[in-house]
Amino acid sequence: GAGVSQSPSNKVTEKGKDVELRCDPISGHTALYWYRQSLGQGLEFLIYFQGNSAPDKSGLPSDRFSAERTGESVSTLTIQRTQQEDSAVYLCASSLGATLGTDTQYFGPGTRLTVL
Amino acid sequence: AQSVTQLDSHVSVSEGTPVLLRCNYSSSYSPSLFWYVQHPNKGLQLLLKYTSAATLVKGINGFEAEFKKSETSFHLTKPSAHMSDAAEYFCVVSFSGYSTLTFGKGTMLLVSP
């Protein structure tokens, strides 16, 4: 079956602009996660969605970052007023959500964001 | 607090020789541990995971890892490296009931002919 897909694969934007990144999880996966991968910081957790529960936003670095998910489908990560330090690869993952913390997370190919 | 330390940022081996990628973790509770691999310009792929069952875990592509609680280690091994194994490897820790995965900094495996 299809894996996790993300779009766009690459995004170049100017400082101060807003960007939206999209994630399509594996069908039937109730849990969805966003991560950021950058040279200096490695892989960082950003936000987690599980079904209709309130999302875990504990990893979002600032209030310029937000994410939405409609039910158990597509999620969008929005970065407002982008800064150069936002340049990174943004990874999305999904899992069955049956056992939080031990579920296998399946990752998408990522969106490479470059802020000029 | 939980943390993961990958002891080597780069490991170089020759094709056909054994691979050892080292990982130590720190946690107050029984963790789940994972190894993921990332090939250039590709997403992360799960190699194997430990979730409190057998301490020796076998994964895909001939990789295995052993959970050693006394040493707080979860080293990844493979008896014989293949050129296609060249990639970046991440050791990851999490806990049941918590959403956060904590990633190590990664180890780049280089395989020479």
Please give the domain boundaries of chain B with CATH numbers for all domains. 3-112 (2.60.40.10)
Of the candidates A72, A69, A112, the one whose C-alpha atom is nearest the C-alpha of residue A95 is A72
Q: What is the mean pLDDT of chain B?
A: 90
Of the candidates B2, B25, B10, the one whose C-alpha atom is nearest the C-alpha of residue B74 is B25
Domain-by-domain residue ranges, chain A? 5-95
Residue B33: closest C-alpha in chain A? A102
Q: What is the mean pLDDT of chain A?
A: 91
- Is B67 an 8 Å CB contact of chain A? no
Output the pLDDT for position B30.
76
Cβ-defined contact of A45 to B99 (cutoff 8 Å): yes
Residues in chain A, how many? 116
Classify domain A5-95 at the CATH topology level.
Answer: Immunoglobulin-like (2.60.40)
Sites in chain B below the pLDDT cut of 70: 1, 28, 96-97, 99
CA distance A88 to A113: 5
Tens digit of each residue's pLDDT (9 = 90 or more) over A67-84: 999 878 899 999 999 999
Output the pLDDT for position B106.
94
Predicted confidence band of residue A104 (pLDDT cuts 50, 70, 90) = confident
Average pLDDT of A43-60?
A: 89
Output the pLDDT for position B96.
66
> Would you say residue A65 has pLDDT above 90?
yes
* Bridge partners for A77 per DSSP: A21, A67
> Would you say residue A99 has pLDDT above 90?
no
Residue to mutate among A43, A103, A111, with most B CBs inside 10 A, is A43
CA distance B78 to A113: 34
Output the pLDDT for position B22.
98
Cβ-defined contact of A43 to B49 (cutoff 8 Å): no
Q: Measure CB to CB from residue A110 to each of B43, B95, B98 and give the nearest one.
A: B43
